[in-house]
């Protein structure tokens, strides 16, 4: 089914759910010189604005093959994470991606979406086995495959992750799946000092308390650590017992323990817990070495007490956001940029206030000039999300 | 192009007199890697100890159109570091500093020549380890592991090398030094160039430093040994264990022939009438491992295992794994030479692959024995031959090609962990369509416009042609390349 409408005089919106339609759109884009733009749903505000004239693409999709015995699934990029989860759950499997349920697989790959479950299951670099994408000649490029190990050719599969949709039009992906856990449990502890947890995290991971996922949230004036356990009930019992013993080492107090009934419920809850990020007027993702996560979160709360804060302590990911105007966003950004050099971190503004002057990406990394050259190599027609991150030259 | 004397003088100036080998007797060791069919004597081998020396060598050699081949320990199995006869090998084997270990960030910064096992041994007191464990880990360098995306026995649960490298330092073909995601950050902005360098087999630049992710070193294990009268039963056990929700650390299999070879060599007490042997290991929380071990044993029994042993004793565990890890060494007792293939297929198709491999062995009158990373679907058919016999070499190459073509046809890949090197170049068009191959070549030219670093490996080059159907190819101009 193909739907075309003009939402304004500058951008057509097209919907596609087949490779044939996508090939046709890319060919038309190449002929007309009007690029294809897909910034996604949760990441619509990330990057520089698209060119005035563009075609906005919405992909739809479904599962193409679920190899149950091999624990792999091949799906079109337009499938939503909700549908993917439901299809797998019906076969007692799941994909531990930790993404918002309404975004597509393509958006997850293009933006390297991950969450607390990265602790146990990794992220796209671990889960993605193969990709198909269209290049700017509308040719189908197939990299990786459906095996869990693959050293053939360049690892463009993993390279396309976090490519912000600028190197090609991903239309199909094969992922690794896991057996559904017998039980899921969320434990919340309250922290006085988030930086105290940083110093003890390795010890926790070395203990029986090592969870499937960890995240930290600042809300209503308190720091909360959420531990996710996914295992059989007896194992979870052992893990929680160990967690309670560990608490005294990082100045935390036990709060709640909740059973989660299903993996679908887990992902829905996580989507809701991240809902503030969609509503925020401004949102910045800061990447630091893991041991700096709590330190940065604590500082950020002091810089601007109105900030919402959500972190992944094992992977140094700090999300800061809220109702910032341009002035307060710039102020925050300057403080972040002053903090980063000591730890070789970086930040990107997933959403900036209207008419913001903030450069969304930085500090500049040494490989960016090379990435520009790679962009020219892989998308010589500059058709795919031009100028979003890698500049139009 | 500069003459030999100028080349050697310049290299000695950069890295020091003693760090350049040019005597043909000394160079013999460097004429091939673990793939003995492709051989060539380089002009020289250099052993820098610092990144800036690598950069200076590369810049000078590239400016003088001298082919460069990066090499770690030379344990590769696909000819990825076979030399060019007027080219220079740059070996990172003397770049062996562990520059920092950061326990709070769980990252170690190492020079590319640090041996895989050395890193884990040096951090034993932290409770952490570097997870990738290829069989060659005592000798193989971490840079080489990353360049081929090496696997090993632990990959089922813990992943391959690229999953354990957070950032790298790389010398590009123009001598520029690039540092990508240093310091232990676990993410970045935009696509990850380091991920692209992983498994690039030294064709995009020379890796000089890595930031390696460190993970908890498990303290508690259980091992289950089971033998079966058929490979199919063993493979079904593998599938059923994973479907039960248990994700073992490793699931290794040997076929009947390999069981006999290993038993004859080392006398572990294996049943030499068995058709397959499965070794399954689990790790984790001590309190739950016994139950999981019993569950695995029960699954093996349901699949008609003829003998099952459960093991929590470290000594017996070490013996069982020694048997697996020494399997390749045992081959040396029964064959002059061997060629190990490295296909990876969807796990459920392993039994079909084994039957096909056996049929191909019969067709070419070759003895083939098999070792598998069964949990990954990664099969290593070991083809036994005598490399001094041209007919044998031909048969091995043809049989290998047939095996790999079959694996590709059923949705597998032509290499799970050894890499393409020169060995599997001609199969790349079977695996990838023309636009994809062109994309690979254009990426290569983006990094290396003059195609001076390890050209002709991994992807078919428009500059170099490879001929492998000649044993001991040093008598051919240009060697095998």
Q: For residue range A289-345, what is the model confidence (pLDDT) as tens digits?
A: 999 999 999 999 999 999 999 999 999 999 999 999 999 999 999 999 999 999 999
Whole-angstrom distance, CA of residue B117 vs CA of residue A165: 39
User: How many helices and strands in chain A, by DSSP H and E?
Assistant: 13, 20
CB contact under 8 A, B180 and A365: yes
CB contact under 8 A, B439 and A141: yes
pLDDT category of residue A3 using cuts at 50, 70 and 90: very low
Q: Please write the tens of the pLDDT for every residue from A94-116.
A: 999 999 999 999 999 999 999 99
Of the partner residues A147, A180, A344, the one whose CB lies closest to the CB of residue B377? A147
Whole-angstrom distance, CA of residue B129 vs CA of residue B158: 12
For residue A346, the Cα-to-chain-centroid distance in whole angstroms is 16
CB contact under 8 A, B377 and A371: no
Whole-angstrom distance, CA of residue B256 vs CA of residue B252: 13
Q: What's the complex ipTM?
A: 0.95
Instruction: Check pLDDT > 90 for residue A235.
Output: yes
Whole-angstrom distance, CA of residue B319 vs CA of residue B211: 33
Q: How far is A348 from chain B (nearest CA, A)?
A: 7
Whole-angstrom distance, CA of residue B176 vs CA of residue B253: 45
Whole-angstrom distance, CA of residue B243 vs CA of residue A69: 7
Of the partner residues A152, A156, A371, the one whose CB lies closest to the CB of residue B431? A152
Q: What is the pLDDT of residue A9?
A: 40
Residue reference for tokens 């560990």:
A246
Q: What is the pLDDT along chain B (481 residues), one digit of tens a residue?
A: 789 999 999 999 999 999 999 999 999 999 999 887 788 889 999 999 999 999 999 999 999 999 999 999 999 989 999 988 889 999 999 999 999 999 999 999 999 999 999 999 999 999 999 999 998 899 999 999 999 999 989 999 999 999 999 999 999 999 999 999 999 999 999 999 999 999 999 999 999 999 999 999 999 999 999 999 999 999 999 999 998 989 999 999 999 999 999 898 888 888 899 999 999 999 999 999 999 999 999 999 999 999 999 999 989 888 888 888 778 778 888 888 888 899 899 999 999 999 999 999 999 999 999 998 999 999 999 999 887 888 888 899 899 999 999 999 999 999 999 999 998 998 999 999 999 999 999 999 999 999 999 999 999 887 777 666 544 444 333 444 4
B-chain CB neighbours of A199 within 8 Å are 104
Instruction: Give percent above pLDDT 70 in chain A.
Output: 97
Q: Does residue B185 contact residue A152 with C-beta atoms inside 8 Å?
A: no
Q: What is the pLDDT of residue A114?
A: 97
A-chain CB neighbours of B107 within 8 Å are 289
Whole-angstrom distance, CA of residue B330 vs CA of residue B103: 39
Tokens of A120: 């146990």
Q: How far is A12 from chain B (nearest CA, A)?
A: 26
Closest chain B residue to the Cα of A292, Cα to Cα: B105
CB contact under 8 A, B163 and A122: yes
CB contact under 8 A, B413 and A198: no
Q: What is the pLDDT of residue A10?
A: 56
Whole-angstrom distance, CA of residue A278 vs CA of residue B363: 63
Interface membership of A366 toward B (CB under 8 Å): yes
Q: What is the pLDDT of residue A337?
A: 97
A-chain CB neighbours of B195 within 8 Å are 125, 155, 158-159, 161
CB contact under 8 A, A140 and B347: no
Tokens of B463: 């500059």
pLDDT category of residue A220 using cuts at 50, 70 and 90: confident
Q: Does residue A228 contact residue A188 with C-beta atoms inside 8 Å?
A: no
A-chain CB neighbours of B416 within 8 Å are 147, 149-151
Instruction: Check pLDDT > 80 for residue A263.
Output: yes
Instruction: Check pLDDT > 80 for residue A4.
Output: no
Q: What is the pLDDT of residue A392?
A: 66
Tokens of B177: 């030094």
Interface membership of A365 toward B (CB under 8 Å): yes
Q: How far is A155 from chain B (nearest CA, A)?
A: 5
Q: Does residue A155 contact residue B198 with C-beta atoms inside 8 Å?
A: yes
A364 backbone dihedrals φ, ψ, rounded to 5°: -60, 135
Q: What is the pLDDT of residue B481?
A: 44
CA-only gyration radius of chain B, Å: 22
Whole-angstrom distance, CA of residue B170 vs CA of residue B195: 12
B-chain CB neighbours of A156 within 8 Å are 196, 439-440, 443
Closest chain A residue to the Cα of B418, Cα to Cα: A151
Q: Does residue A169 contact residue A23 with C-beta atoms inside 8 Å?
A: no
Interface membership of A377 toward B (CB under 8 Å): yes
The pTM of the full predicted model, rounded to 2 decimals, is: 0.95
Tokens of B327: 């399997």
- Cis upstream peptide for B55 (omega within 30°): no
Which of B134, B151, B167, B185 to mutate against chain A (most A CBs within 10 Å)? Answer: B185
**Partner B, chain A 69-88, Cβ-Cβ below 8 Å:** 69-72
Which of A114, A152, A202, A287 to mutate against chain B (most B CBs within 10 Å)? Answer: A152
Of the partner residues A147, A159, A314, the one whose CB lies closest to the CB of residue B191? A159
For residue A143, the Cα-to-chain-centroid distance in whole angstroms is 21
CB contact under 8 A, B348 and A390: no
**Partner B, chain A 1-60, Cβ-Cβ below 8 Å:** none
Whole-angstrom distance, CA of residue B400 vs CA of residue B415: 12
CA distance readout (Å), A363 to A348, A359, B181: 9, 9, 12
Residue reference for tokens 């991950």:
A114
A71 backbone dihedrals φ, ψ, rounded to 5°: 60, 50
């Amino acid at each position: 089914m193909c739907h075309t409408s003009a939402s304004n005089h500058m951008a057509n919106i097209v919907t596609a759910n087949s490779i044939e339609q996508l090939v046709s759109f890319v060919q038309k884009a190449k002929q007309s010189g009007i690029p294809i733009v897909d910034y996604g749903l949760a990441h619509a505000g990330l990057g520089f604005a698209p060119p005035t004239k563009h075609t906005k693409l919405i992909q739809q999709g479904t599962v193409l093959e679920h190899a149950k015995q091999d624990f792999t699934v091949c799906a079109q990029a337009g499938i939503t994470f909700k549908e993917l989860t439901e299809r797998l759950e019906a076969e007692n499997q799941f994909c531990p991606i930790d993404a918002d349920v309404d975004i597509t697989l393509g958006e997850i790959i293009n933006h390297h979406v991950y969450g607390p479950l990265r602790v146990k299951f990794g992220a796209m670099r671990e889960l993605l086995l193969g990709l198909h994408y269209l290049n700017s000649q509308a040719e189908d490029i197939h990299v990786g495959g459906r095996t869990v190990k693959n050293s053939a050719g360049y690892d463009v599969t993993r390279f396309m992750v976090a490519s912000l949709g600028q190197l090609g039009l991903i239309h199909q992906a094969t992922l690794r799946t896991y057996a559904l856990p017998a039980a899921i449990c969320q434990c919340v502890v309250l922290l006085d000092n988030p930086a105290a947890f940083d110093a003890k995290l390795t010890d926790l991971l070395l203990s029986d308390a090592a969870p499937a996922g960890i995240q930290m949230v600042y809300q209503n004036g308190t720091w909360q650590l959420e531990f996710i356990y996914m295992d059989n009930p007896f194992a979870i019992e052992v893990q929680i017992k160990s967690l309670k013993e560990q608490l005294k080492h990082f100045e935390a107090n036990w709060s709640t323990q909740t059973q989660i009934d299903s993996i679908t419920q887990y992902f829905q809850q996580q989507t809701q817990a991240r809902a503030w990020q969609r509503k925020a007027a401004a949102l910045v993702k800061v990447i630091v070495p893991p041991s700096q996560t709590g330190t940065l979160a604590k500082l950020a709360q002091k810089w601007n007490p109105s900030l919402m804060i959500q972190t992944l302590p094992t992977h140094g990911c700090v999300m800061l956001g809220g109702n910032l105007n341009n002035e307060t966003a710039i102020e925050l950004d300057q403080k972040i940029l002053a903090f980063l050099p000591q730890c070789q971190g970086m930040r990107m503004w997933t959403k900036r206030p209207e008419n913001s002057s903030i450069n969304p990406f930085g500090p500049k990394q040494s490989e960016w000039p090379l990435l520009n050259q790679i962009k020219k190599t892989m998308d010589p027609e500059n058709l795919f999300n031009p100028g979003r991150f890698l500049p139009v030259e | 192009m500069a003459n030999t004397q100028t080349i050697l003088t310049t290299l000695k100036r950069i890295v020091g007199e003693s760090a350049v080998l040019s005597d043909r007797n000394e160079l013999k060791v460097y004429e091939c890697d673990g793939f003995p069919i492709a051989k060539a004597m380089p002009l020289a081998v250099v052993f820098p100890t610092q990144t800036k020396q690598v950069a200076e060598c590369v810049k000078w050699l590239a400016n003088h159109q001298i082919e460069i081949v990066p090499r770690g320990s030379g344990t590769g199995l696909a000819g990825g570091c076979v030399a060019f006869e007027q080219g220079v090998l740059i070996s990172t084997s003397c770049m062996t500093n562990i520059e920092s270990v950061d326990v709070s960030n769980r990252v170690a910064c190492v020079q590319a020549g640090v041996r895989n096992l050395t890193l884990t041994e040096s951090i034993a007191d932290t409770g952490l380890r570097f997870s990738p464990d290829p069989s060659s880990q005592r000798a193989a360098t971490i840079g080489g592991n990353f360049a081929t995306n090496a696997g090993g026995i632990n990959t089922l649960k813990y992943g391959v090398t690229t999953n354990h490298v957070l950032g790298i330092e790389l010398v590009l073909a123009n001598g520029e030094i690039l540092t990508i995601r240093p310091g232990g950050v676990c993410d970045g902005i935009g696509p990850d160039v380091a991920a692209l360098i992983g498994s690039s087999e030294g064709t995009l630049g020379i890796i000089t430093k890595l930031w390696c992710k460190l993970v908890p070193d498990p303290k508690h294990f259980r091992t289950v040994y089971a033998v079966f009268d058929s490979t199919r039963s063993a493979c079904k056990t593998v599938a059923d264990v994973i479907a039960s929700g248990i994700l073992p650390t490793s699931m290794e299999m040997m076929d009947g022939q390999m069981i006999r070879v290993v038993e004859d060599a080392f006398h572990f007490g294996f049943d030499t009438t068995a058709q397959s042997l499965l070794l399954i290991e689990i790790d984790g929380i001590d309190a739950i491992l016994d139950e999981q071990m019993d569950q695995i044993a029960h699954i093996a029994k349901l699949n008609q295992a003829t003998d099952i042993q459960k093991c929590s004793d470290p000594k017996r565990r070490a013996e069982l794994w020694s048997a697996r890890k020494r399997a390749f060494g045992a081959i040396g007792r029964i064959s002059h030479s061997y060629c190990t293939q490295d296909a990876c297929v969807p796990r459920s198709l392993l039994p079909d692959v084994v039957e096909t491999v056996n049929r191909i062995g019969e067709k070419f009158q070759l003895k083939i024995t098999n070792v598998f990373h069964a949990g990954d679907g990664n099969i290593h058919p070991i083809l036994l031959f005598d490399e001094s016999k041209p007919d044998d070499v031909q048969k091995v190459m043809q049989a290998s090609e047939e095996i790999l073509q079959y694996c590709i046809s059923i949705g597998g890949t032509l290499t799970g962990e050894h890499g393409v090197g020169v060995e599997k170049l001609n199969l790349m068009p079977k695996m990838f369509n023309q636009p994809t191959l062109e994309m690979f070549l254009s990426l290569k030219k983006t990094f290396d416009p003059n195609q001076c670093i390890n050209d002709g490996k991994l992807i078919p080059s428009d500059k170099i042609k490879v001929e492998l159907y000649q044993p001991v190819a040093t008598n051919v101009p240009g060697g095998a390349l």
